Chains A and B, each alone.
Chain A
Amino acid sequence: ESVLTQSPGTLSLSPGERATLSCRASLSISSSYLAWYQQKPGQAPRLLIYGASRRATGIPDRFSGSASGTDFTLTISRLEPEDFAVYYCQQYGISPHTFGPGTKVDIK
């Protein structure tokens, strides 16, 4: 089972700033099967990025993803007020399709 570790646990930033979220896999996983989700309180998660770097339908281009070996990064280029939320990475290539513990992006 590939364990995903996310850092930092919490990221305190101001609107307009750049956010960089990390996700590290304990085992090698294909970048083709790494996704990022956003979840706001009281809502279901929303797919942002799949295949490590492909934006899902309707996702603004301020969201981008990248991969380097077992390290994956989600970048939000300029935070909008609606971007303050919890972000999860997930690998969906090998069962079980594990999630990381999440990174909370809150307002500084």
Chain B
Amino acid sequence: EVQLVQSGAEVKKPGEALKISCKGSGYSFTTYWIAWVRQMPGKGLEWMGIIYLGDSDTRYSPSFQGQVTISGDKSISTAYLQWSSLKASDSAMYYCARQHSGYDHWGQGTLVTVSS
């Protein structure tokens, strides 16, 4: 069974760093792209970027380029999304998803709350 399991909810202060994770299982992790999607409270889905774990090829949305870093560790089938300095406006639910004929499997989401 294909599964993407994300790390747990985070509560951080503005200016702090954060790295959240998405661990894949049940399939060959290095042969699919993994995307990150933001959903702010009560809002729609926003595509942030995508990584191919086979060679770490990464693409970013212009809206998120320079604001976050997407990375991965294929040895442990895990993709990451990180911030060096969080802002209150980064408070949102973040999903990872596997690209295969659309985005066919999604993680359960990681809720990030940034508040002083």
Which residue numbers of A lie inside 8 Å of B, CB to CB? Answer: 1, 35, 37, 39, 44-47, 49-51, 54, 56-57, 86, 88, 90, 92, 95-102
Q: Is the CB of A37 within 8 A of B103?
A: yes
User: Which stretch (B12-20, B66-74, B77-85, B105-113) binds chain A?
Assistant: B105-113
Contact B95 A44 (CB under 8 A): yes
Contact of A56 among B61, B62, B101 (CB under 8 A): B101
Q: How far is the CB of A7 from chain B (nearest CB, A)?
A: 14
Q: Which residues from chain B contact A46 at a C-beta distance below 8 Å?
A: 106
Q: A95-B50, A95-B59 are in contact. Are A45 and B102 (CB under 8 A)?
A: no
Q: A35 contacts B103, CB within 8 Å?
A: yes
Query: Is B44 on the interface with A (CB-CB < 8 A)?
Result: yes
Shortest Cβ gap from B58 to chain A (Å)? 10
